[in-house]
Amino acid sequence: MDQSIIISVNNLSKFYGETLGVQDLNFSVSQGEIFGFLGPNGAGKTTTIRMLLDLLRPSFGQIHIFGKEIYDHSLEIRRRSGYLPGNFSAYGNMTGADFLRFAGSMRRTSPKLQSSLIDRFQLSKEDLSQKVKHLSHGTLQKLGIIQAFFHQPELLILDEPTIGLDPLMQEEFYRLLFEVQNKGKTIFFSSHNLAEVEKICHRIAIIRDGKLVALETLESLKKKKVRRLKFILKEPVDDLKLPGANLVKQKDLYYEYLVEGDMKRLLQKLSSMPIDDLIFPEPDLEEVFMAYYHKEE
Amino acid sequence: MAYFYFIWKFHRSFLIFSALVISAFQFLILKLVTTIDYSAITSYLLEQLPENVQAMFGQDFISMLTVEGAAAFGLNHPLVLVILSIGAITIPSRHIAGEAETGTLELVLSFPVARTKLLLNLWITVLSFLFFIILFAVFSSLVSIYIFHQLTAGLFVKMITIGCNLWLLFVFVMSLSLLLSSFGKEGNKVGIRVAGITLVFYLLHYLSSLWDTISFTKPFNFFAYYQPEDIMTGNRSFSLHFVVLFSLILICLLVSLFQFNRRDIPG
pLDDT of A137-156, one tens digit each?
Answer: 999 999 999 999 999 999 99
Q: Which range is least confidently modeled, A35-39, A122-126, B37-41?
A: B37-41
3-state secondary structure of B148: helix
The number of beta carbons lying within 10 Å of the beta carbon of residue B263 is: 18
CA-wise closest residue to B173 among B100, B88, B247, B101: B88
pLDDT for A224 beyond 70: no
Burial class for A105, CB neighbours closer than 10 Å (0-12, 13-18, 19+): middle
Residues B161, B231 contacting (CB under 8 angstroms): yes
- The answer on pLDDT for A208 being more than 90 is no
**Domains, chain A, ordered by start:** 5-217 (3.40.50.300), 227-296 (3.30.70)
Quick one: pLDDT at residue A2? Answer: 62
Q: Is A11 on the interface with B (CB under 8 A)?
A: no
Q: Which of A93-107, A119-133, B230-244 has the lowest mean pLDDT?
A: B230-244
CA distances from B2 to A29, A101, A146, A178, B126 (A): 35, 10, 20, 34, 14
What CA–CA distances, in Å, run from B120 to B106, B190, B194, B222, B260? Answer: 17, 19, 19, 23, 11
| Predicted pLDDT at A40 | 81
Query: What mean pLDDT is predicted for residues A153-177?
Result: 94
**Contact (CB<8Å) A89/B102:** yes
- Banded pLDDT at A172 (limits 50, 70, 90): very high
Question: Alpha-carbon distance A250 to A137, whole Å?
Answer: 41
- Nearest C-alpha of chain A: how many angstroms from B2? 7
Rank A87-96, A217-226, A282-291, B119-128 by mean pLDDT and report only the highest: B119-128
**Over pLDDT 90: what percentage of chain A?**
60
For chain B, domain boundaries:
2-262
Q: Pick from B104, B112, B114: which is nearest to A107 by CB?
A: B112
Do residues A6 and A80 touch, judged by C-beta distance below 8 A? no
Task: Using a CB–CB cutoff of 8 Å, tell me whether A85 touches chain B.
Answer: yes
Phi-psi domain of B241 (left: phi exceeds 0; alpha: psi -120 through 50; beta: other) = alpha
Contacts of B109 in chain A (CB under 8 A): 53-55
Q: Tell if the CB–CB gap between B112 and A56 is shorter than 8 Å.
A: no
Give B180→chain A minimum CA distance, Å.
Answer: 19
Chain B residue with the nearest C-alpha to that of A158: B110
Whether A193 has a pLDDT exceeding 90, the answer reads no
Is the interface score ipTM higher than 0.90? no
Give me the tens of pLDDT residue by residue for chain B, a chain 267 residues long: 677 788 888 899 999 999 999 999 999 988 887 665 566 666 676 677 776 666 655 555 555 567 888 888 889 999 999 999 999 999 999 999 999 999 999 999 999 999 999 999 999 999 999 999 999 999 999 999 999 888 899 999 999 999 999 999 999 999 999 999 999 999 999 999 999 999 999 999 989 988 888 889 999 999 999 988 888 887 777 888 999 999 999 999 999 999 999 999 987
pLDDT at B182: 96
Closest-CA residue of chain A to B117: A75
Q: What is the DSSP pairing of strand A81-84 with strand A155-159?
A: parallel
pTM of the model: 0.83
Q: Over the stretch B73-105, which tens digit does the pLDDT of each residue have?
A: 889 999 999 999 999 999 999 999 999 999 999
State how far the alpha carbon of B118 is from the alpha carbons of A93, B68, B122, B178, B230, in Å: 20, 41, 6, 12, 38
pLDDT of residue B71: 87
Q: How far apart are the first and last CA of chain A?
A: 36
A53 and B CB contact within 8 Å: yes
DSSP string, A82-127: EEE-TT----TTSBHHHHHHHHHHHS---HHHHHHHHHHTT--HHH
Assign A285 a pLDDT band (cuts: 50, 70, 90).
low
- Helix pair B67-74, B115-148: axis angle to 10 deg: 150
With the C-alpha atoms ordered A66, A71, A72, A73, is the resulting torsion angle positive or negative?
A: positive
The whole-angstrom separation of Cα B28 and Cα A67 is 65
The answer, yes or no, to whether residue A292 has pLDDT greater than 80, is no
User: Shortest CB distance from B267 goes to which of A50, A57, A93?
Assistant: A50
DSSP letter for each residue of A135-168: S-HHHHHHHHHHHHHTT--SEEEEESTTTT--HH
Lowest pLDDT segment from A240-244, A246-250, B51-55, B177-181? B51-55
CA dist., res. B122 & res. B120, Å (int)? 5
- On whether any CB of chain A is under 8 Å from the CB of B261, the answer is no
Name every chain A residue with its beta carbon within 8 A of the beta carbon of B102.
Answer: 89
How many other CB atoms are there within 10 angstroms of residue A18's CB atom? 5
Q: Which residues contact A129 (CB under 8 A, 6 or more apart)?
A: A95, A96, A97
pLDDT for the residue numbered B61 = 53
Q: What is the pLDDT at residue B57? A: 55
Check residue B38 and give its pLDDT: 61
Query: Is A137 in CB contact (< 8 Å) with chain B?
Result: no
**In angstroms, rounded to a whole number, what is the distance separating the alpha carbons of residues A113 and A185?**
16
Q: Which of B10, B112, B267 sits opposite A86 (nearest CB)?
A: B267
Q: Number of Cβ pairs closer than 8 Å across A and B?
A: 63
Question: pLDDT at position B222, please?
Answer: 95
% chain A with pLDDT above 70: 92
Q: Measured between beta carbons, which residues in chain A are less than 8 angstroms from residue B2?
A: 102, 105-106
CA distance B189 to B206: 26
